[in-house]
Structure formats: structure tokens, C-alpha cells
Structure 1
């Protein structure tokens, strides 16, 4: 049974205006930051951050921000061997989390569905 859904859209141009390294350190887990630091192309770095930010905002919307103890680094978004994103977090224990992230040159969007087991 679906518990909640969340979605978020990020304008990549707004990400480009930020101090990208500082923003990455603020929202990415150590595992995500390692992946980010290995990306050499600036455009790819911006789309990566925009996608992760959209995904984490979508996750917060799933929880309706009711739990103020969660922060961006509490949601670790990695990719499986096929490139599909998945979430690791103590906040989703006992739930199934479906997540998708996509982007164009201008936008990144993420959609999350949480289901009770």
C-alpha cells in the first residue's frame, strides 16, 4: 500500500549560480560526495547535484517534513549496477522506496513513492 509520494523540480541554472563545492558538501553524504568529486565535466557535476537535490527534496515531501531531525545527508542516493537510483536511510526502514531521477539541459526532476511493506 502506498504510504506517500513526493516530487521535486530543480532549475539547473540556479544550481550553476551556487558555490557548487560548498553546496555539494552541505547536501551529499560521504558516498555521494566521492562520486561527485570524481566527475570532471562541469555540466555533469551540475546535473548530478540538481538530481540529488531534487531527489532529497522529494523524499522530504514524502515525510511531509514532519520529522525535523532528518537532513539532506540522512538520505544516501546511489545507483545500482544498472544505473537505477536507490535510497539508503534509517528513515525508510520498514518501507519500500521507489525513486526515479531524470534531467534535461535545464531541469532535474525526481519522483519518490514510499510503500508500507
Structure 2
């Protein structure tokens, strides 16, 4: 089965949320590796953009797998990183796959199987967008 998901985030919405709750927002949305990168960013606008793109990517993936933050799912089960070629890719924990299997009846799908996922991220000063195409 092939599925896709897309998410568009207004940067100012992430900025407003960050101004309300501070670093707690990043700690809620980002996994450990993402959080370390985020904390090393010195420019406030770049920090917000980083956070917005990760948020959009995770939302797009959850839309593609037809699952929200339910069935025990957590933002921290999904991390985005750049691979050795510079492509953005997902690192998904075993807890992500457990939630996926619990939420869907997936015939012939094994927990150790990996989803074939393509991720594209882009942003402007106003928006961050993520698109996910996956085969499962």
C-alpha cells in the first residue's frame, strides 16, 4: 500500500507557542538527538524554523500512516535527521512500530519490518512544509 501525508505549519504559530511555554515545547516535540541539535543553534529564528520543520515532518508522517497521537504514540518516537548524503530521513523507534501495529490491522507486516519512507522538507520565513510518501 502506498500512502502520503503533508503538513503546512505557520512559523509564527510555533513562535507564539514557544514564547508561551519556552523550551518545554521543544522538549515535547523533539527526540533526544533532535533536541541536542536544536540546543546548539544560536539564532532564535533558526531554532523556531528547525522546530517548525520537525513538527511538520512528524505530522505528515502520522497522516501518512493514518495515525495521530493516540494509542500511546509520542513525538519522541519519531526523529528527523540528515543522512550522509544530506537527505532528510526519519529515525523511528521500536515504540513507533508497536503503536502502528496496535492501531492498524496490518496483514503480513512484521514489527521488524521498516517502512519505505520518502520525506521532503521546505520552509520560508512564514511557513514550514513537509511531505511524506511511504510504502508499507
TM-score (norm 1): 0.90
With 96-105 and 82-91 compared, the bigger mean Cα shift is at 82-91
| Structure 1 residues 7-86: aligned runs within 5 Å | 7-19=6-18, 20-65=22-67, 68-86=71-89
**Alignment-derived partner of residue 102 in structure 1:** 122
TM-score (norm 2): 0.78
Point out the structure with the larger strand share.
1
- Alpha carbon RMSD of aligned pairs, Å? 1.6
Q: What secondary structure, in the 3-state scheme, does the structure 2 residue paired with 1:17 have?
A: helix
Distance, in Å, in 1 between the alignment partners of 2:122 and 2:38 is 17
Q: How many residues align?
A: 115
Question: What is the CA-CA distance between 1:41 and the residue it aligns to?
Answer: 0.4
Distance, in Å, in 2 between the alignment partners of 1:55 and 1:111 is 7
| Unaligned segments of structure 2, at least 5 residues | 98-112
Structure index of larger Rg: 2
| Unaligned segments of structure 1, at least 5 residues | none
Question: What is the CA-CA distance between 1:81 and the residue it aligns to?
Answer: 2.6
